[in-house]
Amino acid sequence: MRKAMLSMILTTTLAAGGCSSAGNPLLEEWDAPFGVPPFAEIAVTQYEPAFTAALADHDAEIAAIRDAAEPATFANTIEALDAAGAGLARVSNVFYSLNGTMTDDAMQTVARTMAPILSRHRDAITLDAGLFARVDAVHARKADLDLDAEQAMLLEETWKGFVRGGANLDAAAKEQLKQLNEEISLATLKFGENVLNETNRFELVMDDEADLAGLPASVVAAAAETAIQRGHEGKWVVTLHKPSFIPFLQYAGNRALRQQVFEAYAGMGDHGDELDNNVLLVKIADLRAHRAQLLGFPTHAHYVLDDNMAGTPEAVYELLEQVWRPAVARAGTEADDMQAIIDAEGGGFDLAPWDWWHYAEKVKKQKYDLDESMLRPYFEMGRVRQGVFDVAGRLWGLEFVQRTDIPVWHEDVETFEVRDADGTVMALLMTDYFPRTSKRGGAWMNSLIKQRYVDGERVIPVIFNVGNFTKPTADTPSLLSMDEVGTMFHEFGHALHGMLSDCRYKRLSATSVARDFVELPSQIMENWAFEPQVLDMYARHYETGAAIPAELKEKIRKAKHFNQGFVTTEYVAASFLDMDWHTLAEAADEDATSFEQVSMARIGLIPEIISRYRSPYFRHIFSGGYSAGYYSYMWAEVLDADAFAAFSETGDIFDPATARSFRKNILAKGGTEDPMELYRRFRGRDPGIEPLLVRRGLQ
Distances (CA, A) of 641 to 345, 466, 689: 39, 25, 8
| CA dihedral over 14, 17, 20, 25, signed as positive or negative | negative
**pLDDT score for 8:** 36
- What pLDDT does residue 372 have? 87
User: 46 with 160, same domain?
Assistant: yes
**What's the CATH code of the domain at 634?**
1.10.1370.10
Residue 276 lies in a domain: no
Distance of CA 145 to the CA centre of its chain: 37
Within a domain: 279: no
| pLDDT of 358 | 97
Task: State how far the Cα of 580 lies from the Cα of 577, in Å rounded to an integer.
Answer: 5
Is 696 contained in some domain? no
Query: What region, left, alpha or beta, does residue 236 occupy, with left being phi > 0 and alpha being psi -120 to 50 degrees?
Result: beta
> Same domain, yes or no, for 43 and 117?
yes
Query: What is the structure's pLDDT at 10?
Result: 35
Q: Is residue 189 part of a domain?
A: no
Q: Are residues 652 and 625 in the same domain?
A: yes
In a shared domain, residues 402 and 360: no
Residue 49 included in any domain: yes
User: What would you measure as the largest C-alpha separation in the chain, in angstroms?
Assistant: 85
Distance set, CA 571 to CA 432, 565, 634, 686 (Å): 26, 10, 9, 25
Same domain, 122 and 223: no
Q: Cα–Cα distances in Å, from 161 out to 125, 155, 454? A: 11, 10, 23
491 is catalytic: yes
Whether residues 80 and 158 share a domain: the answer is: yes
Q: What is the CA radius of gyration of the chain?
A: 26
Instruction: Give residue 7's pLDDT.
Output: 37
Residue 137 lies in a domain: yes
Q: Which residues of the chain have pLDDT under 70?
A: 1-22
CATH of the domain at 553: 1.10.1370.40
Q: Which domain, by its residues, includes 524?
A: 377-489+520-558
| Residue 353 shares a structural domain with residue 400 | no
Whether residues 24 and 138 fall in one domain: yes
pLDDT of residue 414: 98
Cα distances (angstroms) measured from residue 371 to each of 93, 216, 250, 353, 362? 41, 11, 10, 20, 8
Residue 281 is assigned to a structural domain of this protein: no
Q: What is the signed CA dihedral for 499, 500, 504, 510, rounded to 10 degrees?
A: -60
**Catalytic residue (one of 417, 491, 519, 637):** 491
Task: Indicate the residue among 144, 168, 192 that finishes a domain.
Answer: 168
117 within a domain of the structure (yes/no): yes
**Based on the structure, what is the number of domains in the chain?**
4
One domain for residues 220 and 305: no
Same domain, 531 and 587: no
Where among 244, 266, 288 does a domain terminate? 266
Does 390 lie in the same domain as 442? yes
Same structural domain, 448 and 554:
yes
| Rounded alpha-carbon distances, angstroms, from residue 150 to 153, 382, 474 | 5, 39, 52
Question: Left (φ > 0), alpha (ψ -120 to 50) or beta: where does 269 sit?
Answer: left
pLDDT at 21: 59
